[in-house]
Amino acid sequence: MNINDSVLSNAERLTFSLRELYSKNGYQPYRMSKFEDYDLYSRNKDFLVSDRVITFTDLSGKLKALKPDVTLSIIKNHTDGTTRKLYYNENVYRVSKGADGYKEIMQAGVECIGEVDNALVGESLILAAQSLELIGKSFVLDVSDLDILNAAVEKITDSKHLQEELVKCVSEKNAHGILSICEDNGIDPKTADSLIALLTLCGAPDRVLPRLSDLCDALGCRAAYEELSEALSVFNGTGLLSKIQIDFSVVSDRGYYNGVIFKGFVSGVPDSVLSGGRYDKLLRRMKRGSKAVGFAVYLDMLERVEETTAGDIPQDTMLNVALPKGRLGEKVYAMFEAAGFPCPSIKENNRKLIFENPEAGVRYFWVKPSDVAIYVERGAADIGVAGKDILLEYEPEVYELLDLKFGKCRMAVAAPKGFEDDRSRTLRVATKFSKIAADHYAQKGRDIDIVHLNGSIEIAPILGLTDVIVDIVETGTTLKENNLEVVETIVPISARLIANKSSYKFKGDNITKIAHELKKN
């Protein structure tokens, strides 16, 4: 039967192309034919893209779930002693980031479970790159290795909590955050040299691997280096090698993944469209003795990919910069101008919001300060400047490249003078930074009742609405005039240079140049 593919959407055509690719490479189709117990997902919620699962009770009274994932079902039905190479196209049900509810999402992927060696890891990498090539000609496959990253992190501290904080900084390319963790916890910053070095080792394998070799010898993880190097060798002599980068900001949950991991990006899509790696640890947790490697393609992300993306249409090389409105934004622009990226039209007396200078390769636009991170995360801006308070409160998926060291203040707890906390009662907290407040008191094991306010926070304890407030404090003058005082500092705040993760893959040289010049100034 011939199918007229003109009636198919991009995603549908891609689905058929991916099936053909995987089938030609010896992978068999896998089909989920029943609902899984909710317990399967609740026990492994950290492995899921989203831990929010749609549940229902079946006719026998068991709690079931609409599948948020396929890999867990494949493992559950795997028998040790066999090697299975599977591919799937399944609808999964989860909360998509930015959505206000659950979505039905088409997801494709491959899984290889059993006697998985480096050859099969390399095969998975090749298939991942070929999958990206089917999506669009302009793509990057970032490859990392968790065993190497773990060696660098464990050299700094034995604390599991601090290790996770350090890994989070690595995922954000946040070198200043790594040093701050060391300073705050009395750790010699020199012990972080290897970890920070990993952040700078970003680029083509032939450029990065020689430098990584010496670093791995110093860290005592030579075997992990050899595994990564061998896995990447499958690209030698192929037309795909130029699309491969080593980048240790690619991280996954260390309780489930190990060894080689990777993510794929396509120009024009603000987030990764493919993610995978080795997950032997997940099999251990599910009482299996096998090894595994695989990846998923997030087809819901491809709604943004136009037909032209698959061709050789020139991409926009201008850097889009989101500036915060107001006095802070004027100071930010002055820094960019001093760093060699001026745009004279921005100083004209008009009501325009977008300004560009093609010669400098920059396009600026003014947005509300609290919205900068949204514009960057969603890819409307390649880079921007946002306060650390916004980054902590909303946790956008962005790179935090620089602490610009201005706009300094602090996030603090303030209360009426003479206030004493009665721990036998729930503490009432007024704030517009609900997540920061919740996280702070959760670490202290303190029960709180958050009253979310959008302004005039200081008046809440005066009128008896709450006991304390959590807010930004600059000089403290407003607090003093209202008979309030800071009782605890939560975290220092300053302006940060942030970048969209996908933009960094395709405009990395220009972004790095700007960051370098800003750091000098």
pLDDT (tens digit, 9 = 90+) per residue, 41-77?
888 877 877 778 888 898 888 998 888 888 888 898 8
pLDDT digits (tens, 9 = 90+) for 402-413: 999 998 999 999
Q: Where residue 414 sits, what CATH number does that domain have?
A: 3.40.190.10
- Predicted confidence at residue 81, as pLDDT, reads 86
| Structural domain of 129 | 5-310
* Residue 46 CB partners (closer than 8 Å, separation 6+): 253, 255, 256
Q: What is the helix (H) or strand (E) element at residue 485, kind and residue range?
A: strand 484-493
Cα four-point dihedral sign 159, 163, 164, 168? positive
Do residue 127 and residue 103 come from a single domain?
yes
C-alpha dist (Å) from residue 174 to 179, 238, 399, 503:
9, 33, 7, 17
- Residues 400 and 423 grouped into a single domain: no
Does the structure show a pLDDT above 80 at 96?
no
Q: How many CA atoms lie within 13 A of 339 on its CB side?
A: 21
State whether 147 and 270 are in the same domain.
yes
Instruction: State how many domains the chain has.
Output: 3
Q: How many residues can be counted in the chain?
A: 521
Task: Quote the pLDDT of residue 351.
Answer: 80
Bridge partner list, 386? 496
CA 147 to chain centre: 19
450 and 383 within one domain = no
* Closest C-alpha among 309, 323, 444 to residue 376: 323
Helix %, strand %, coil % of the chain (to 5): 40, 25, 35
Whether residues 172 and 240 fall in one domain: yes
> Any idea what the CATH number is for the domain that residue 33 is in?
3.30.930.10
Residue 150, Cα to own-chain centre: how many angstroms? Answer: 18
Regarding whether 330 and 294 lie in a shared domain, the answer is no
Q: What HEC string does 296-325 produce? A: EEEHHHHHHCCHHHHCCCCCCCCEEEEEEC
| Weakest mean pLDDT among 15-24, 46-55, 170-179, 283-292 | 46-55
Q: Which helix H or strand E contains 168, and what residues bound it?
A: helix 160-171
Q: Are 460 and 335 in a shared domain?
A: no
Q: Within this chain, do residues 282 and 197 fall inside the same structural domain, yes or no?
A: yes
Q: Tens of pLDDT along 175-220?
A: 999 999 999 999 999 999 999 999 999 999 999 999 999 999 999 9
What is the C-alpha R_g of the chain?
A: 25
Claim to verify: residue 379 and residue 479 sit in the same structural domain: no
* Among candidate residues 276, 310, 344, the one where a domain is terminated: 310
Tell me: do 297 and 263 sit in the same domain: yes
Specify whether 433 is located in the same domain as 284: no
| pLDDT tens-digit readout, 115-162 | 999 999 999 999 999 999 999 889 999 999 999 999 999 999 999 999
Give me the mean pLDDT over the 351-379 stretch.
93
Residue 307 has pLDDT above 60, yes or no: no
- Residue 366 confidence (pLDDT) above 90: yes
Query: Of the residues 262, 278, 310, which one is the last residue of a structural domain?
Result: 310
- Of 255, 277, 310, which residue is a domain's last? 310
The pLDDT tens digits for 420-457 are 999 999 999 999 999 999 999 999 999 999 999 998 89
In contact, 420 and 514? CB cutoff 8 Å: no
311: pLDDT strictly greater than 60: no
Question: CA 24, CA 282: separation in Å to the nearest integer?
Answer: 28
The reply to whether 404 and 415 lie within a common domain is no
